[in-house]
Amino acid sequence: MKLIVKVFIFFLVFIICWTVIMAFFLPKSVLKGFRILEDARYEWEIDRVTTGINQLILKHESLLLDWIKWDDAYTYVSDGNINFVKVNITQNFFEDQELDYILFFNDDNQLLHASSYDHLQSKFREVPQSLIEKVKTYPNQSGILFIEGQPIVFTALKVTNSLAEAQPKGLFVFAYTLEQSRVVQLGDTIKEEVSILETFVPGESTYFEVETIEDEKLSTAFIKLPYLNEVGYMLIKLNLPRDILLLGEETVRNTLILFIISFLILSGFLYIWVRKIIIKIETIIKDVSYISTTKDLSKRISIQSTGELNILKDGINNMLDEISHMNKKLTDYARLDPLTGITNRRGGFEQLQVLMDEARSKNLDLSICFIDVNDLKLVNDTFGHNTGDEYLKEVCNIIEQNTRISDIFCRLGGDEFLLIFHLCNQTHAEETMQRIVTDFDLYNMKSSVPYTLSISFGIIEYDYKVSLTEYIELADQKMYAHKKTLKSDNK
């Protein structure tokens, strides 16, 4: 038998064996990783949806917390003065807060006031008696009631005075109907397909119990929201396309098809270009082995080629881009302060170190301002931590309105913040801080909140010599000097 025939037979057998092996093992090894990623994404998306639904249920809790610590509200529970309702319960209030129902009870559970507003017809309507009777049996709670065929989300809290020292009494209730449009709007916000499948399903359920149905292209999660007053629950449906797994299957298919076609084409030219064919085979095997063994998802395929190899390159690179995008989202969540939404200590220090290195190497301007929010502990102790949180948010809003896109504002912890002025000397940084102080003064003059916005701060321009820790310490010391000056001026 001629050598060329032997080579052809050997190559043909090799192609057949190799194709069978790749078709058997490649999907198992590669798709296993895709399934892990798909499952992780699925759990993450369910967490996002349940968090969003929980926010719908607690939508008016912070608003009602402000109302029940109002001295006028405490007086109203005792004397039932109708002027309190006339002044505060208006059509604009219902529309601005997206409320459907407001109910007030005295300390004997007697109804003082009940209002219901029809947003479509822009008029008040009668409150269902069953809602009045049921909601007062759930004081100091937020949840869902099934009333006359409708799911009603409510928050009911007892009333105290502004110092939260008086004996709680009476009951204030804010509520709204959880309609399909609100759930769909939630889905639009988080970019997922979410809807109410069933308003009422008989049976017991735990809070946010999840059941799952999966097929080749779609995962469907059914989230149960139990009613407080009925043995039943609302069923929320979440559809999640299995994009990652489908991408993995497509990549495996394209890879197998690519190599099968490549080897068939190469075998046709075997008699003439054996050496070239072997070199191409060795190159392909080397590239595939590298990707398979290293599993380095940060790498990108940069082969300069056309045809099938280019398809493979694009498929792998698109897959890596998708995964890198998801990792970036997770990294961003780890570098944000959950209360204020600005950069946290870790993220701020990392960015400051980068800017310090850049300023030192290129002789660029860089300044930082160490900020301490004055009297935060007093606000927390006097008005509660929710008011303290609002205090911090207002401070952050005003500061962010006066800074540039290139500036970095981060929370170090508690009442301490750091403002990094990129490409900015101390003089310009001080001008910015003066604008911020002026805006604080304007806010304090116009606002009716029970506290005064005030900060102490210290600005230091980078001298290219100190370390990050020393740099921040210098700004901290200057802030404390400013705080002492403020206290002396107040005296």
- Residue 450 belongs to some domain of the structure: yes
State pTM to two decimals.
0.47
Same structural domain, 159 and 80: yes
pLDDT of residue 403: 95
- Pick the residue with more confidence: 54 or 288? 54
Q: Where are the alpha helices (DSSP H) in 269-306?
A: 274-294
Give me the residues paired with residue 144 across strands: 153
99 in a domain, yes or no? Answer: yes
Tokens of 448: 């009716």
Q: What is the mean pLDDT of residues 40-57?
A: 86
* Residue 346 backbone dihedrals phi, psi, to 5 degrees: -60, -50
Q: Which of 437, 395, 387 is nearest to 416 (CA)?
A: 395
Q: What's residue 279's pLDDT?
A: 61
Q: Are residues 481 and 351 in the same domain?
A: yes
336 inside domain: no
- What is d(CA 105, CA 221) in angstroms, rounded to the nearest whole number? 39
Number of neighbours of residue 403 by Cβ within 10 angstroms: 16
Is the pLDDT at 250 greater than 80, yes or no? Answer: no
Q: Chain-centre distance of CA 399, in angstroms?
A: 22
Domain extent at residue 193: 182-241
Determine the Cα–Cα distance for residues 371 and 389; give it in Å rounded to an integer: 16
| Total number of domains in the chain | 4
Same-domain check for residues 237 and 349: no
Contact 59, 67 (CB under 8 A): no
Q: Is residue 435 part of a domain?
A: yes
- Residues 184-214 pLDDT 10s: 988 888 888 899 999 999 998 887 788 888 8
Residue 357 sits in the same domain as residue 478: yes
Instruction: Kindly state whether residues 148 and 234 are assigned to the same domain.
Output: no
Would you place residue 245 in the very low, low, confident or very high pLDDT band (cuts 50, 70, 90)?
Answer: low
CATH number at residue 480: 3.30.70.270
Q: What percent of the chain has pLDDT over 70?
A: 89
Q: Which residue has the higher pLDDT, 282 or 456?
A: 456
Q: 259 and 208, same structural domain?
A: no
CB 455 within 8 A of CB 372: yes
Indicate if 190 and 285 belong to the same structural domain.
Answer: no
Q: Is residue 398 part of a domain?
A: yes
Are 312 and 379 in a shared domain? no
Q: Looking at residue 117, which CATH number applies to its domain? A: 3.30.450.20
Mean pLDDT, rounded, of the chain: 86
Q: Which of 48-62, 114-128, 368-382 has the lowest mean pLDDT?
A: 48-62
> How many other CB atoms sit within 10 Å of the CB of residue 164?
12
Whether 338 shows a pLDDT value over 90: the answer reads: yes
